[in-house]
């Protein structure tokens, strides 16, 4: 008699469990039809903090290294005009390498980790920054340089006091493009085991649950917009004569 009561109670519990797991009562992360799960996002937003910080560091370091190298190459090509075509071609070859392939090609040489990602990401910034620096320097009016020579300036002084300030808009423009594109490419650093927001995007589970992809992608977009706004502000302060002309 007691065993019959127990079986009946177990049946009632099982029936309730099965009823709770119908398609209408499943949590949204278990429903493939849900594009975005707000409940899951609120409960798991903290897991994106470390990847976002890793992404920020990768972008900041890579763009800084790429700018230093590209700027030096552009100044060299500005003094040695015959170097322009080969340097432009060389940086273009690096830019043409598919992103994932670049990471994988570096792994046997530099190993897994952030250094591999920084090398690849820095290489992708070279052509954009190099080309904009050379174009900016080439667009400086000859009359401005002649006036500087008439004032007794040396070629070095003309470069730093006349040419580079007048080329600042083109230089910062290239830096903005390179930075925004690096934010996007840096998500692929996960293939070099360098962390970043790609850890929350390129997982098998997310193929059927896009909420994590959307959150990581949204953070990357906000990061790119923030970098762009910062660089645009730097440009405005570095070129006060343009603000005066606009007003």
Each residue's pLDDT expressed in tens, for the chain with a length of 247 residues:
445 544 444 455 445 444 444 445 555 655 555 677 888 888 888 989 999 999 999 999 999 999 999 999 999 999 898 999 999 999 999 888 888 889 989 999 988 889 999 999 999 999 999 999 999 999 999 998 889 888 888 889 999 999 999 999 999 999 999 999 999 999 999 999 998 999 888 875 666 678 888 999 999 999 999 999 999 999 888 887 766 555 5
Q: Are residues 219 and 199 located together in one domain of the fold?
A: yes
Does 62 lie in the same domain as 3? no
- Residues 90, 183 share a domain: yes
Are residues 20 and 49 both part of a single domain? no
> Can you give the pLDDT at residue 18?
44
Question: Residue 93: which CATH number?
Answer: 1.10.3720.10
pLDDT for position 24? 52
Q: Take residue 34 and report the two structure tokens written for it.
A: 């849900």
- Please tell me whether residues 55 and 130 are part of one structural domain: yes
Question: What pLDDT was estimated at residue 99?
Answer: 87
Q: Which two tokens stand for residue 36?
A: 């975005």
> Cα angle vertex 110, ends 105, 116, to 5°?
75
Residues 82 and 11 in one domain: no
Task: Check whether residue 120 and residue 162 sit in a common domain.
Answer: yes
14 and 47 belong to one structural domain: no
> Which pLDDT score is estimated for 38?
85
For residues 44 and 11, membership in a common domain is answered with no
Do 133 and 189 lie in a common domain?
Answer: yes
3-state secondary structure the chain: CHHHHHHHHHHHHHHHHHHHCCCCCCCHHHCCCCCCCHHHHHHHHHHHHHHHHHHHHHHHHHHHHHHHHHHHHHHHHHHCHHHHHHHHHHHHHHHHCCHHHHHHHHHHHHCCCHHHHHHHHHHHHHHHHHHHHHHHHHCCCHHHHHHHHHCCCCHHHHHHHHHHHHHHHHHHHHHHHHHHHHHHHHHHHHHHCCCCHHHHCCCHHHHCCCHHHHHHHHHHHHHHHHHHHHHHHHHHHHCHHHHHHHC
Residue 28: the pLDDT is 66
Domain extent, residue 88, equals 40-246
Same domain, residue pair 9 and 113:
no
Domains identified in the chain, total number: 2
On whether both 95 and 209 belong to a single domain, the answer is yes
């Amino acid at each position: 008699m007691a065993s019959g009561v127990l079986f009946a109670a177990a049946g009632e519990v099982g029936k309730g469990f099965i009823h709770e797991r119908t398609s209408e009562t499943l949590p949204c992360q278990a429903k493939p039809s849900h594009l975005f799960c707000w409940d899951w996002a609120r409960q798991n937003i903290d897991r994106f903090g470390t990847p976002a910080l890793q992404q920020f560091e990768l972008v900041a370091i890579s763009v800084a290294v790429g700018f230093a190298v590209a700027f030096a190459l552009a100044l060299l090509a500005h003094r040695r005009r015959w170097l322009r075509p080969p340097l432009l071609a060389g940086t273009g070859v690096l830019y043409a390498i598919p992103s994932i392939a670049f990471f994988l090609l570096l792994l046997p040489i530099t190993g897994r980790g952030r250094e591999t990602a920084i090398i690849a990401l820095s290489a992708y910034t070279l052509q954009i920054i190099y080309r904009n620096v050379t174009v900016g320097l080439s667009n400086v009016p000859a009359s401005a340089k002649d006036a500087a020579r008439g004032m007794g300036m040396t070629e070095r002084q003309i470069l730093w006091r006349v040419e580079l300030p007048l080329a600042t808009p083109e230089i910062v423009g290239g830096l903005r493009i390179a930075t925004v594109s690096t934010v996007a490419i840096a998500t692929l650093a996960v293939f070099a085991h360098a962390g970043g927001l790609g850890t929350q995007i390129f997982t098998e589970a997310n193929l059927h649950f896009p909420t994590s992809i959307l959150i990581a992608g949204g953070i990357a977009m906000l990061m790119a917009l923030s970098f762009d706004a910062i660089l645009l502000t730097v440009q405005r302060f570095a070129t006060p004569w343009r603000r005066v002309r606009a007003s």
